[in-house]
Structure 1
Amino acid sequence: MILFRSGATRRHLLGLGAALSLAPFAAHAQPAAAPKAPDAGKVSLELLMAEQPLPDVWLGDPKAPVTIVEYASMTCGHCARFETEVFPVLKKNFIDTGKVRYAMREFPLDPLAAAAAMLARCSGDKRQAMIELLFAQQPHWAYVDKPLDALRDTVKMTGMGQKEFDACLNDQALFNKIDRMRNEAAQKFGIDATPTFFINGDKKTGEIPPDALDKLLEPYLKK
């Protein structure tokens, strides 16, 4: 079962819709739990790479020998540490050198995480920059009394104004697609925690220290 984060109270999360008349959050205060598949250690690349409710945004060479798909929640502290401490090493040593292609998929653990994911999608070609900003600034918007106000102030750094912010978070269709992304991942791949990675279909849940990347990816690069 997906639970609310301890860092934000249930009252705050249920109040997201009232704060800005956000229809998606008023209608979906807590994402419905999806039936989960068995927690298999490996899934087929064909299933993993099937069309998603929202298109994948890939970084790296499409012909790279290693494909990494990460399921992350924008309010997840472990995901933030991966983004700020590990991802720069992954990008420099593996993505930029043609060894790895990588995509992050949304798996929001609460409505606030869904809001942040929606804002990243609404950023268009700035999505990666928005993700990096939100994870870097996570303590300043995810663990405060008025998270939506803090989130609004944070995304202003990317040039997103009030009108765009409100329009994005009122986009019911976008919310539904992010919710489907989470539900399908739980059902098909047994995901119930973030971050969860699939490396050429092999499932790994939890943090990856930056100094463990070489050892972790070496067997895949030898194949």
Structure 2
Amino acid sequence: MPIDRRVVLAAASGLLAAGGLVRPAAAQADNPKLSERSMGDGPLVVQEFFSLTCSHCGDFGRSTWPQVKAELVQTGKIRFVWRDFPLDQIALRAAVVARYLPIPAYEPFIETLFQTQDRWAFARGVDHKTEIGKIAVLAGMPQAMFETAWADDATARGILELRQQGERQYNIQATPTFVFGSRTVSGAIPFDRFAQEVARG
């Protein structure tokens, strides 16, 4: 979805002001939870900048990602890299929780969040934390760990700084945005378009 910068800045300002900006490389070195989340070992790197509360990101996750995973990632054509680009505080906290899971559990958890967006992200009057917590527990996260993750401002600051770095480097204007090598494509593109971009190399 197109970025409402007022929402982004509101999500970021308090944490970044409180903790100061950190260099992305330093943040990753100091905090292993900020290490890259990726799948596959293909020659072409494809990055997805996404927000867990973005309906278009959810559409890609539900409709296109399973085919991308089966036909392009698992066949060794691409390495797919997830880049957090949270658009609000709920997406930010959910992203932190995801990074507390073991790396093999990251992708299933992200995709479960996309599958259940209507329940935890968009339902009127929903307690976002409670609903995300239920999904985290089902993914194998102890409740105490979930509470720690939800309150982890240091990791949240690191995610926001990495998001700012991605915005500067690739001029991200909407989510999802895909970077095929160095080419940027925005929107929840269908599989055929995705495969065409991969074929371009």
Q: TM-score, normalised by structure 2?
A: 0.81
Deviations 1:128-168 (A, max 9, x none): 12111111111110013121222112222112232111101
Matched with 2:150 is 169
Q: Distance in 2 between matches of 1:155 and 1:122?
A: 10
Alignment partner for residue 113 of structure 2, among 125, 134, 146?
A: 134
Q: Distance in 1 between matches of 2:5 and 2:135?
A: 26
Q: Is 1:58 aligned to 2:58, yes or no?
A: no
**Against the structure 1 CA distance between its residues 165 and 216, is the aligned structure 2 distance closer, same or farther, given a 3 Å change threshold?**
same
Q: Distance in 2 between matches of 1:3 and 1:87?
A: 29
Matched with 1:19 is none
Q: Is 1:93 aligned to 2:71, yes or no?
A: yes
Matched with 1:180 is 161
Matched with 1:118 is 96
Counterpart secondary structure, 1:218: helix
Counterpart secondary structure, 2:82: strand
Q: Distance in 2 between matches of 1:197 and 1:216?
A: 10
CA-based RMSD of the aligned residues comes to 2.2
**Against the structure 1 CA distance between its residues 32 and 205, is the aligned structure 2 distance closer, same or farther, given a 3 Å change threshold?**
farther
**Against the structure 1 CA distance between its residues 193 and 65, is the aligned structure 2 distance closer, same or farther, given a 3 Å change threshold?**
same
Alignment partner for residue 85 of structure 2, among 97, 107, 116?
A: 107
Deviations 1:39-59 (A, max 9, x none): xxxxxxxxxxx9574221221
Q: Distance in 2 between matches of 1:210 and 1:219?
A: 14
**Are the counterparts in 1 of residues 56 and 176 from structure 2 also a CA contact under 8 Å?**
yes
Q: Which has the higher helix share?
A: 2
Which protein shows a greater Rg? 1
> Which ranges of structure 2 fall in alignment gaps of 5 or more residues?
15-23, 29-33
- Please show how residues 1-223 of structure 1 align to structure 2 within 5 Å: 2-4=5-7, 30-32=11-13, 51=25, 53=28, 54-61=34-41, 64-125=42-103, 126-144=105-123, 145=125, 146-220=127-201
Q: Distance in 2 between matches of 1:165 and 1:29?
A: 24
**Are the counterparts in 1 of residues 180 and 197 from structure 2 also a CA contact under 8 Å?**
no
**Against the structure 1 CA distance between its residues 156 and 29, is the aligned structure 2 distance closer, same or farther, given a 3 Å change threshold?**
farther
Q: Quote the offset at 1:29 in angstroms.
A: 5.7
Count matched residues.
180
Counterpart secondary structure, 1:198: strand
